[in-house]
Amino acid sequence: MEPNPLFTRSKEIRQDNWGRWLCYISVSILLLLVVTIIYFISSKGIQTFTKNHVSVWSFLTTADWNTGTLSGGKTDLGALALMTTSFVTTMLAAALATPLAFVIGIYVVALQPKFGQKFVQPIIELLLGIPSVVYGFIGLTVLVPIIRQHFGGTGFGILAGALILALMILPTITSLAIESMRSVDPSYQKFAYTLGCTRWQVIYHVILRISAKKLVVAVIYGVARAFGEALAVQMVIGNTVQMATSLVSPTATLTSKLTTDIGNTIDGTLPNNALWTLALILLLISLAFNLIVKGFTKGDRAA
Amino acid sequence: MNRYLIDRICRWLIYAVVATVVALILLFVGFLIAKGWSTVNWQFLTTASDDGLGIRDQLFNSLYLLILTLILSCPIALGSAIALTIYGEKSRFASVAKMAIQALSSLPSIIIGLFGFLLLVLKFKIGFSVLSGAIALTFFNLPILTQSMSLAIATVPSSRLDAGISLGVSQWHTIIKVVLPEAIPGMISGIVLSAGRVFGEAAALIYTAGQSAPKLNYGNWNIFDSNSFLNPLRPAETLAVHIWKLNTESIGPDAEVISQGTIVVLILTIVAFNFLARQLAHHWQHKIYR
Amino acid sequence: MAPVATYLQTPTEPIAIQTEDLTVTYDQQALWPTNLQFPQHAITALIGPSGSGKSTFLRCLNRMNDGLAKVEGKIMLGEVDVNRPEINVYRLRQQIGMLFQQPNPFARSIRFNLSFGVMEHQHISRAALQEKMQTALEMVDLWSEIEGDLSRNALQLSGGQQQRLCLARTLMLTPDVLLLDEPASALDPIATAKIEANLLKLKQNYTIIIVTHNLEQAARISDYTAFFYEGKLREFDRTKQMFIKPHLQLTNDYLSGNFG
């Protein structure tokens, strides 16, 4: 007697096992990658403290960075100046870009949706495609000379860095702002109009009020992108580790220091380890931004 | 002050700001193109940088790295996207993975570059090479590509999957023969858009693919020869890295001209990618909904 | 828990499929032990208010709840309990076809829609496939409507045509049992009438189980009716009997529209 086909295996079982296996391998590669990145950079980064016995406190709270022969054998490792410059430059960039991004967002969503969507938004998003070295190059060859002429100094410094970063994160914040303003239920707007509100009142009291939380997230995304940007900043910041005395004095950020020095130090030495510590700080701050966004969006979903 | 007046003032202010910003951006991009336009010609594209005004090898390196990166990242991203959107839609594993992908996409590209340097160049001793660069770019590309592929797959109604399963077809064959073909337009535009990002990336490459472009022999198909254009273990400076390198270390007499020309090539290629993404998506849409 | 009043008639016809103490649990219990016998080559309607467990019950029969819910008890298809883990669910679903609430054709040609399942399971010649497709389309009265043009995209068809194409797609595998989950709820009255005509024709050869919210529909086409309420099977009887004189007050209230 032929066995009942319901009790025999068929190729479909094999297909599903195989497909599931393939897909889960892929995800595992991604997970492994994240874990490995964090592990590698952490294990390298903490050697400054565990192997070279530099104090964590002084690393984070002093501002001098001297390694190698230029300082005559004297070694100072303080990341405060680097971190300060990173934060100040980033915040300044966000402060410049955010109002513009919101204004453009309002224009595209609430004032001229047709023209905005067809022309303005694509033009803004054109900036997204431009590689960061191009921004750096423009900063170096156009912006820095202009700053030098009008504000004095060498032209290199926080101002140049912030302006370039502002341009770079403008499309990021704008796109997200447009998305979040668009997600406001149009029936609220219609309702407000029937109450006799002016357009500006609808924009201010309805659209901005309701999308406020998402707009904050948009800005955080922009800030995170600016904070991690390396090459464009490195090309215009001046690359001198010191507390900036003005917006036009040369200084350095976490990312610019890493970019310039990691190839010039020998693996395993203290100056090299100290750079990996900077990388670790950068990694942790990036993950922190990620957590902040997560916190914001989580509240959203619950509401 | 009258609220109608406020309304009018605010609106005109907004119009003015938008007009200014748009004008500035157009000026900025126009300036970039205009500056380098005269430099770009056939000779510029086909001369090795050692021999004069040219970017032949950098251009090839960029394309070579791009292709290798896509070959490495597409299957992994696709598999992950399927796992996240279909297999483990609500599982705990998937939510952990989604968090990890988000974290990965939030990492600065310099961190990816340094990690690649640590793992590939120092640990595995692959050296500054095409291979190291392609793997680092894959790390860089994976989170974004996975997210865009997940989105593309999620646009296909889940009822298609139910239909396939109710016919006794395996879930896997329903996915690859019904769901994925329908998601192709979205996936293709995701891939091409990510290609644009990869093509212009420099920070992930300066310590992985290296900062030098040895002169290549395009007739040498032996991938083990150091001057073969296909050799995956030679250093490979790309267009973006070239611009950075020219402007940070060796400011030669032609640095500015070459940079400007290279920028035009970079931007036009990326714009072409974006255009292509839209066209391909359109084409496939027609093919499927014929 | 106080026992609830139930009335279950035993059909006199041969039984195609029956459940024995079938229960379903998601996070909470969705279906209490259910014993139902479906007569062969007849239409059985499952009725009841939303959330009464009838759709949940239906989806168990071809194991579509696998991985989504805990399904316990027996589902006897002939002599075989198909709710056991060692059952090949892929083959089971070829024997028990399903039609969903929303028409869900693949966004491809009509030909692809019809041939997909067959090609996955059998080796079949081009000519035989063509003939099979024509037969299936004729059974649902779609062949003449599309003028034999199988290359058209299924999404270009009207909603009712799409649903009948889905029915034809299921028939391509020549199942024994057809499960229909409110197949006409998204359709207009004319399209609904066409589907109903199809079903009345199909019951010569198929055992049909249909979930419906439309009581007139149940009365029009079904031979037997099962009434579900709050996750429990309450009454099962010949449709004629139930719609004329239900045994339970609850059923009477539901049928006369006092709640629902």
Tell me the per-residue pLDDT of A273-284, one tens digit each, with 9 for 90 and over. Answer: 999 999 999 999
Spatial contact of C204 and C39, defined as CB atoms under 8 Å apart: no
How far is the C-alpha of A25 from the C-alpha of C205, rounded, in Å? 46
- Report pLDDT for A268: 85
Q: Give per-residue pLDDT as tens, A263-272.
A: 888 888 888 9
Report how many Cβ contacts below 8 Å link chain B to chain C.
Answer: 67
Q: What is the pLDDT of residue B87?
A: 83
Tell me whether residues A16 and B171 touch, CB distance under 8 A: yes
- Distance to chain A for C87, nearest Cα, Å: 5
Cα–Cα distance for residue pair A191/A207, rounded to 1 Å: 12
Residue A42 in contact with partner chain B when CB distance is under 8 A:
no
For residue B267, count CB atoms less than 10 angstroms from its CB and return exposed for 0-12, middle for 13-18, buried for 19 or more: buried
**Chain B closest-CA separation from residue C3 CA (Å):** 36
Side-chain-facing half-sphere of B90: CA atoms under 13 Å: 2
Inform me whether the pLDDT recorded for B227 exceeds 50.
yes
Nearest neighbour of A34 by CB, restricted to B22, B104, B118: B104
Please answer whether residues A119 and A125 qualify as being in contact, where contact means their C-beta atoms are separated by less than 8 angstroms.
no
Rounded Cα distance, A138 and B33, in Å: 12
The pairing of strands C96-99 and C177-181 is parallel
For A7-12, what is the mean pLDDT?
Answer: 87
| CATH number belonging to domain B38-288 | 1.10.3720.10
Residue C234, phi then psi, degrees to nearest 5: -105, -40
CATH 3.10.310.30 is the classification of domain A76-302: no
- What average pLDDT does range B235-247 have in this prediction? 93
For C30, the 3-state DSSP assignment is strand
In terms of Cα–Cα distance, which of B81, B289, B116, B94 is closest to B194?
B81
Q: Chain A contacts of C86, Cβ < 8 Å?
A: 7
Q: Flag whether residue A127 sits within 8 Å of chain B, measured between CB atoms.
A: yes
Interface of A with C in 41-100 (CB under 8 A): none
Nearest CB partner across the interface for B26, out of A123, A203, A258:
A123
Sign, CA torsion C180/C186/C191/C196 = positive
CA dist B167 and B190 (Å) reads 31
Enumerate the residues of chain B whose CB falls inside 8 A of the CB of residue C64. 162, 165-166
Model pLDDT for residues A41-50, shown as the tens digit of each residue: 999 999 999 9
- Greatest extent of chain A over all pairs of C-alpha atoms, in Å: 97
Token readout for A74 is: 């004297």
- Closest by CA position to B263, among listed C10, A138, C240: A138
Q: Pick from C80, C88, C92: which is nearest to A9 by CB? A: C88
Whether C170 sits inside 8 A of B166 (CB atoms) is yes
Q: In what order do the strands lie in the sheet with C70-77?
A: C29-39, C15-25, C70-77, C80-81
Domain boundaries, chain B: 38-288
pLDDT above 70: percentage of residues in chain C: 98
Would you say residue A303 has pLDDT above 50?
Answer: no
C141: closest CA of chain A, how far (Å): 32
Asked if B168 and C104 come within 8 Å (Cβ–Cβ), the reply is no
Put residue C165 in one of left, alpha, beta given phi > 0 → left and psi -120 to 50 → alpha.
alpha
The chain-wide mean pLDDT, for chain C, equals: 92
Q: In this prediction, what percent of chain A has a pLDDT beyond 90?
A: 66
Q: Which chains have 3+ CB pairs within 8 A of C?
A: A, B
The average confidence (pLDDT) of chain B is 90
Q: Indicate yes or no: CB of A26 within 8 angstroms of CB of B247.
A: no
Q: Closest approach of chain C CAs to the CA of B147, in angstroms?
A: 24
Q: Touching check for C66 and chain B: CB below 8 Å? A: no
Q: Would you say A136 and B203 are in contact if contact means Cβ atoms under 8 Å apart? A: no
pLDDT in tens, B145-159: 999 999 999 999 999
The pLDDT value recorded for residue A71 is 53
Judged by CB atoms closer than 8 Å, whether chains meet at C173 and B166 is answered as: no
Give the pLDDT confidence of A210-230 residue by residue, as tens digits: 999 999 999 999 999 999 999
A2 touches chain C (CB under 8 A): no
* pLDDT over 80 at B283, yes or no: no
Contact C153 B164 (CB under 8 A): no
How high is the pLDDT of residue C249? 92
> Is there a contact between A30 and B248 if contact means CB atoms under 8 Å apart?
no
Q: Which of A18, A20, A290 sits opposite B87 (nearest CB)?
A: A20
What pLDDT sits at residue C1?
Answer: 46
Residues of A in contact with C94 (CB under 8 A): none
Q: Do A107 and B14 touch (CB under 8 A)?
A: yes
A99 or A242: which leads in pLDDT: A99
| 3-state SS class at C37 | strand
Alpha carbons C134 and C12: distance in angstroms, whole number: 36
**CATH tag, C10-255:** 3.40.50.300
- A window 210-239, beta carbon within 8 A of B: 224, 227-231, 234-235
- pLDDT tens by residue, C24-58: 999 899 999 999 999 999 999 999 999 899 999 99
Kindly report the length of chain C: 260
Which chain A residue has its CA at the smallest distance from B259's CA?
Answer: A137
Average pLDDT over residues B223-232: 86
User: Per-residue pLDDT for C4 more than 90?
Assistant: no
Chain B CB contacts of C92 below 8 Å = 168
Give rounded-to-5 percent helix, strand, coil for chain A. Answer: 75, 0, 20
- Can you tell me the distance from the alpha carbon of A226 to that of A170, in angstroms, rounded to the nearest whole number? 10
Q: What does the alpha-carbon distance between residue B180 and residue C238 come to, in Å, rounded to a whole number? A: 46
Residue A302 has pLDDT above 50, yes or no: no
Angle between helix B130-154 and B180-200 (nearest 10): 140
Question: For residue C108, what pLDDT is reported?
Answer: 92
Q: How confident is the model at residue B224 (pLDDT cuts 50, 70, 90)?
A: confident
The confidence score (pLDDT) of residue C218 equals 94
- The mean predicted confidence, pLDDT, of chain A is 90
Domain residues of chain A, as ranges? Answer: 76-302
